[in-house]
Structure 1
Amino acid sequence: MTRILIVDDNAQNLYLLESILKPKQFEVIPARNGAEALDLAGKNPPDLIISDILMPVMDGFELLRRWRSDERLKNIPFIVYTATYTDPKDEAFALKLGADRFILKPQKADTLSRIVSETLEESRRKSPVPPQNAPGDEREILRQYNEVLFRKLEKKVQDLENEIVEHRQAEERTKLANRKLSLMTDVTSQDIQNKVFALRGYIALIQKHQQDEESSSGIGKILEIIEAIESIIQRTKEYQQMGLGQLRWIPVDRAIGMQMSLQSRKHSITSRCNLHGLEIYCDPLINRVFYNLINNAIRHGGKTSSISFSFCKEPGRLILICEDDGVGIPLEEKPMIFDRIAGGKGKFGLFFVREFLTLSGMTITETGTPGQGARFEIAIPEGSFRFSGSA
C-alpha cells in the first residue's frame, strides 16, 4: 500500500486530508510539524509527502530543504499544500527548493487525489536526481528564505493595520449610532415628561372643581398611570446608560451603605455588611444593582426588617450574597423573577440587575428558601474583584 506522510499543525486539516486519501487506498501517516515529519520519515520513509508551510518548530520550507538534502528522502516526491503562502514568489521559492507540486488550499477531494496520483506516477518515471541546490547555493537559499518570511510578515502587518482601521471605523460608527439613539431617547423622554407635567396640571384643575366620588376614583387611576409612565421613563434612562460608564474599582460596602442610607429614610430597616474592603471592577451603574436588590427586599419581602451582605470565595470566582429576613420568593415564581414581565406585573428592577451583571461578566441567581427570606448570589470572576489594600 502506498504510504503518504501528511504534515500540518492544524488537526482539522490533517483529518480532512486523511478523509480524502484513505478511501483511495493510501496509508496515511500524520505529523504536526516539520521536525516530527523528518523523524517519522527517517524511521520509515513514505512514498510521498504532503506538507503545509506555516507550522511551529519547523516550517514547510525548512522541511523541504532538509528533505532534498537527505540521501534517503531526496527522491521522494514532495507536495506543498498551503493556504497562507499564496504569492507567486512563494511558489517559485518552493519549486527552487525542490517541491514537485505547489497547490493552494482548499482543493476538491477528486482534484487533490488526482494530483497525488499524477505526482506518484511522475516520480516513478523520473530518474533519481541529486539535490537541486549545491552547497554553494546555501547562502542564496537562505537569502530567498528570509525574503519570503519578510514578505509574509510585511503582509501580516499590513493585514493587521487594515483590521485596526476597520475596527476603529466600526467603533466610530457604533459610537455615532449610540449618540443618535441616546439623543432620540433623551428628546423623546423629555417630550413625554413635558406632556405628563401638563397632564398633572390639568388633573389638578379637575380635582379643584370636581369633588364627586366617581370623578375622584377616575382621577386616582389616571394618576397611577402617570406614575407608571414616569417610572418607565426613569427605567429607560437607566437602561440607556448600561455599559457606557468608565470601568473602575467600586468599594462595595460604600456603595451598599449609600443605597441603604437612601432607603432607610423611608423604611425602618437595618443592614449588615461583612465585606472586608471588597471592591469590584465595573461600571459605576453597579449602584443601581444594589438599589434594586434592597428595594426588592423592601417592596416584596413582606415585613422585611433586615438585609445583610456577605461573600464567600470559590475556585476562580467570588460569590457576593444579599439576604433578607422577609417572606422569600415562592417556588413557582423563582423561574420568572428576572424576566422583564413576570406574572403580568412589570419587574424591571431584577431584569435590569441581571442584564447589567451579564454585560459586566457576572451572573446572579436566587437561592433563598420560601418563607425564610430571599437570597441572591452574584458570581464575580477572578480578576474583577479585590480587597482594598491588596491592589
Structure 2
Amino acid sequence: MFDQFVNFVRDVFSEPTAFIPLHEPRFTGNERRYVMDAIDSTFVSSVGQYVDRFEEQIRDYTGASCAIATVNGTAALHIALLLAGVKRDELVITQPLSFIATCNAIAYTGAEPVFIDIDVTTLSLSPTKLKSFLDSHTEVRTGNCYHIASGKRISACVPMHTFGHPAQIDAIVQVCRAYHIPVVEDAAESLGSTYRGQQTGTFGLLGTYSFNGNKTITCGGGGMVVTNNEQLGKLAKHLTTQAKIPHRWAFDHDHIGYNYRLPNLNAAMACAQMEQLDMFIAHKRHLAEQYARFFSNYAYQFIQEPTQSQSNYWLNAILLNDRRERDEFLEFSNNRGIMTRPAWTLLTKLPMFENCLRDDTTNAQSIEDRLVNIPSSVILA
C-alpha cells in the first residue's frame, strides 16, 4: 500500500516529483491588496480597520456575540481561561492527545491539567470518561467542583476539537454544567466545523481559534476569543490591550493586562482569508472524499467526520495497525517527498506534565501509536 499511497498523493496534488507538504497556506484572494492598504494607512499595529473587520467577520460566521482578535491562538486560550475564572493551584480538565499549546495555556494561569481519555470516534475528550471521573473523584460544594483527594478546585474543562473534527461538545458541556465547571473550547483547528449545525467554539462559556500558518485560514499568526457573554467579551478586549483605560493621552491601567492584540497588518491578511474560508473547506472536504475512497481498498482506517458533524478536515489522518507499521509508513513517505507526521506525543508523557493527575488513557495511547497525518493542503485547479 505504501507505494500506491505515494503515487495517489502525487496524482491528486498534480506534483509528479516536487515535495508535497502536510499543509501549506493558499493566498488567492485579496491578501496582497488588503495588506498594502494597511501599510498605506500607517495603522500597522493593534489599531486599525482590519482588526475590527476581522472580528466582525468571525462574529458573523460563527454566530458568537463577541469576537476578540489576539496575536495567536495560545494567547487567546490563556485569556479565555483567565476569563473563565481559572486561578493558580487549581485544576483544569483536558485531554492527553492535543498540541502542547493547550497545556501551556493552562500552565500560564498557574493551574495544573487533569488528563481524561479521548473518544476514539472523535479523537477528542470523551464525555463518558469525563462523567465517570467526575462521579468517582469529585464533589460539588458551595457552587464549585473539587477534586476530593487533593482538595483542589476544578475551575475549567478544555476539550480540543482534534484535527478539525468536532468533539461531542454538547454532551461535554452538559456533564460540566452538572458539576459547575465552565467549558473553554480549544477550537484552534476547527474553524468552520459544525456539530449539529452549530459552529465549534460556540458551545462553551468561551471558545478560541488559531490562524497560524498551517491552519485552514491564516494570517501568519493570529488567534480569536469568542463568547456569547457580553461582559466577558468586553473584559477580554480590555485585558488584551494592556488593560488601558481609554483616554486621549493618559496612561492609566486597572488590571494586569496583556500585550495580546492582533496587529492590523495580520488582520488585513485574515480578512482576505475569511472571504475564502467556505471555498477552502469545500476543497478540503473534496480531498477527504478522495482519500476515503482510496483507503477503502486497504486495511487502514481513514479518519472521517463523527456523526452529526461537518468537519473542515483540517488535517487528514489514517490509522495503521501498530507503532512499528506507523513508523515504517512515516519513513517511507517522507523519504519520497511526501510529508507525513505522527500524532503529537501524549501530553502525559512530557516532562512538564508527566506528574499531573490523570485517568485511564488507553484510547489516546492507541491513537498515538497508530495515527499518521497525511497531506491536507487546499488543492485549487
Q: TM (normalized to structure 1)? A: 0.25
Q: RCO greater where, 1 or 2, for CA within 8 Å and sep 6 or more?
A: 2
Choose between structure 1 and 2: higher helix proportion: 1
Bigger-Rg structure (1/2): 1
Q: TM-score, structure 2 length as denominator?
A: 0.25
